[in-house]
Structure 1
Amino acid sequence: MTVVAPITAFDPTEIERISADMLSPLVRKIDEDRVYAEDVMRAYGAAGAYGTHVGGIDGNTDLSSAILSMARTSEECLSTGFCVWCQDTLAWYIASSDNDFLKAEILPKVVRGEALGGTGMSNPMKAIGEIEPMRLKGERVEGGYKVKGLLPWVSNLVEDGYFGTMFHVDVEGSDTPKRVMAIIHADWDGVRLKLDHEFVAMGGTATCNVQFRDVFVPDNFLLGDPAGSFVQRIRPGFTLLQCGMAAGIIKNCIELMKQVEAPLGHVNQYLEKQPADLEAEYEALVAEVLEMAKTPYDLSDEFYLRVLKARLKGGELAVEAAHWAMLHCGARGYVTHGVAQRRLREAYFVAIVTPATKHLRKLIAELEG
């Protein structure tokens, strides 16, 4: 049975107002003081930003509005744009599942921004790709699983928040453990959060290391047991949604280049890349992403390969656009409060957040091989 969450009406005008009037004045404080823009995140929920892509596998699901809303946020601040992706992805997990309890009890709160949270899948995705070991281990008990371990870097996470993650469970008679994916409530017994903001950017993202001390995960919070087919279902959308972050920062970097055309155009004309060059690549990328956003549950290898290539292009173009924005702005972008230097620091995050550039290239090589 498909349970559709009550969805707050999507209001793009209100999302624009929140971005320009609430978020923009906070950007320096978010970057320099590592402030988490919780009020902004909840306001986006009230404006319907997190509810446009939760129709589920049986619905007419389109990621376009979610991606464009995230892009608008990321034009101002990538820390908050990333938090929007975390919230969107949490909703994506639940909406894509067959778990009617989570759809009825948790998803509406996530969609409305009443419950905040994210995706604890950085380590599991890398574990699936044989890049690093799985950090969480579960044991079957009556009514669910008992889980222990230390999960690094779960973002957009507050004390009463939720996040999705995965753990290994030993299987009797097999050398290969099974993977189980679940939604975790940060307020459960045995869950401990510790803020981890030692980054050159992205400090205002409520990023935590999460310790599990024999945490009981009940069966009604499971997304996939085993998780293999569920991961295949969610991975195109998981990856495609990240392109909203890339699109927003690329667009803003192009705008920064245009802003200095009057005072510096006479010398910037000798730089190899001009705003029009990057704009053409940006428009082609956005067109490709929005076309794929119409069919996020296409599980073919051909579609996933297109998604991976678009995501790779987004990360690489974000770094390139930020690089050229810095050179066009010159010294005025290199000062402590310069926007260009912040955007350069933020752009590298798009290229290293899971799946990172090297991970994407690995996945592409495997699919093409």
Structure 2
Amino acid sequence: MHEVGKTRLDGEFSDWVVAAAHDLDTGVESPSTVLPRLASAGLAGAGVPVALGGSGGDVVDGVAGISVVAEESLAAAFVLWSQRTYIEFLLQSPNKQLGEKLLPDLLAGRLAGATGLSNAMKFLAGLEPLQISAGAEGDSLVLSGKMPWVTNLRPESFHVAAAVDHADGGTFIASLAHDDDGLQRSNDLSLLGMRSTNTAAIKLSEVRISAERVLHPDAGEWLPQVRPAFTGLQCGMSIGLARRAIAETAKSVGAGRNVLSPQLSAVTQRLTQAESRLSAGLRSREFEVDAVSLFTLRIELAEIVSEAISLELQASGGRAYLSGPGRDFARRWREAAFIPLITPSLVQLKAALLERRQDAA
């Protein structure tokens, strides 16, 4: 059993995620099973106040939960990231009534929480315009636009956070529901791996919502506040996958592959140091004013994953390329290929950092 913050993963969940990892990646396992399993293990409530139905702690405990799941399945961890991030948005939203309404079902896994704020985070970094616009009609806000890639869109029931460009010139964050008139969910995207994640696109055609669905009236003010949790929880996926690749490498080092020991030691130390910096930055809230350090850390963790999975391949040798013995490695290789693409992607983050350096110069 693992300890995740104040949440202890029971053997039933551990057994399931280990057995289901390959099928979660290929889509054989039904996506509808993932969120209830995560919720029943208490993972959705890691870092959520006890008074609100969680297990206590803070966002660092949420990162730890995602990390331990990512050791076994990045697909399951990706779903958990989406759920836990949406929950974090509710925790940090001034709209407490919406949180009181949705949190019980989110923590129980009856309702999926999705974040369509990848576009917003890129908008905040100056990388692209917002893709959803709104006008006002009476007491309603009328939204149109698209979200081309959103995870955890369980057809049964979901809420998704979206950044919206208002006709009056302002921007705000709204929460949209699966059954809103005018909201159309595509079929699940045909991904290379991580198929059982309910990842799809959303099209909005004059979707009407009330002010009760506004998570925050000022996106420019709120996004820097929630970006550390959004990105920090993402980093949990890299931490868990790197940790597993390092552990697999360590099993083979010594079987004629001692030459890899110095690299293994170095990447292990880098991972430990990066985890410590992430936890410290989240708890001190320094990332709210120092986005450069947060972006740099996200990039570094992705590089650590790449190095760790390469070491696992070298340590495993030819058996990693056999379909039977190498099946779990092949899945981790595909998972590692996804890490740089998680929005904002590494290319986008590096472009944002370069622009900031040029502005400073």
Return the TM-score normalized by structure 2.
0.88
CA distance in structure 1 between the partners assigned to 2:27 and 2:287 by the alignment: 42
| Structure 1 unaligned regions, length at least 5 | 1-8, 172-176
Aligned to 2:284, the other structure's residue is in SS state coil
1:27 matched residue in structure 2: 21
CA distance in structure 2 between the partners assigned to 1:83 and 1:355 by the alignment: 17
Q: After alignment, is 179-188 or 37-46 more displaced?
A: 37-46
CA distance in structure 1 between the partners assigned to 2:227 and 2:117 by the alignment: 11
Post-superposition CA distance 1:42-72 (Å, at most 9, x none) = 233233322233459xxx9721211111111
Aligned to 2:45, the other structure's residue is in SS state coil
Q: After alignment, is 143-152 or 241-250 more displaced?
A: 143-152
The question of whether the paired residues in 1 share the 8 Å contact of 2:287 and 2:293 is answered with no
1:6 matched residue in structure 2: none
| Structure 2 unaligned regions, length at least 5 | 51-55
1:312 matched residue in structure 2: 299
CA distance in structure 1 between the partners assigned to 2:12 and 2:181 by the alignment: 35
- For the pair 1:253 / 2:253, whether they are aligned, the reply is no
CA distance in structure 2 between the partners assigned to 1:313 and 1:18 by the alignment: 34
Aligned pair in 2 of structure 1 residues 36, 288: CA closer, same or farther (>3 Å)?
farther
Aligned to 1:43, the other structure's residue is in SS state helix
1:326 matched residue in structure 2: 313
The question of whether the paired residues in 2 share the 8 Å contact of 1:94 and 1:102 is answered with yes
1:195 matched residue in structure 2: 187
The question of whether the paired residues in 2 share the 8 Å contact of 1:273 and 1:324 is answered with no
1:153 pairs, out of 149, 153, 159, with 149
Question: How many residue pairs get matched?
Answer: 347
CA distance in structure 2 between the partners assigned to 1:28 and 1:111 by the alignment: 26
Amino acid at match of 1:167: V
Greater helix share, structure number: 2
2:47 matched residue in structure 1: 53
What is the correspondence of 1:1-369 to structure 2 with a 5 Å cutoff? 12-13=7-8, 15-33=9-27, 35-55=29-49, 62-159=58-155, 160-171=157-168, 177-261=169-253, 265-266=255-256, 268-271=257-260, 274-296=263-285, 298=286, 300-302=288-290, 304-337=291-324, 338=326, 339-368=328-357, 369=360
Aligned pair in 2 of structure 1 residues 125, 34: CA closer, same or farther (>3 Å)?
farther
CA distance in structure 1 between the partners assigned to 2:28 and 2:164 by the alignment: 30
CA distance in structure 1 between the partners assigned to 2:235 and 2:266 by the alignment: 19
CA distance in structure 2 between the partners assigned to 1:250 and 1:320 by the alignment: 8
Amino acid at match of 1:45: A
CA distance in structure 2 between the partners assigned to 1:333 and 1:273 by the alignment: 21
2:53 matched residue in structure 1: none
Amino acid at match of 1:333: A
The question of whether the paired residues in 2 share the 8 Å contact of 1:139 and 1:147 is answered with yes
Post-superposition CA distance 1:321-362 (Å, at most 9, x none) = 112212221222123352222212111212111121122223
Aligned to 1:242, the other structure's residue is in SS state helix
Shift in Å at residue 197 of structure 1?
A: 2.8
The question of whether the paired residues in 1 share the 8 Å contact of 2:5 and 2:47 is answered with no
Shift in Å at residue 249 of structure 1?
A: 0.1
Aligned identity (percent) is 23
Aligned to 1:195, the other structure's residue is in SS state coil
CA distance in structure 2 between the partners assigned to 1:334 and 1:182 by the alignment: 46
Return the TM-score normalized by structure 1.
0.86
Q: CA RMSD in A?
A: 2.4
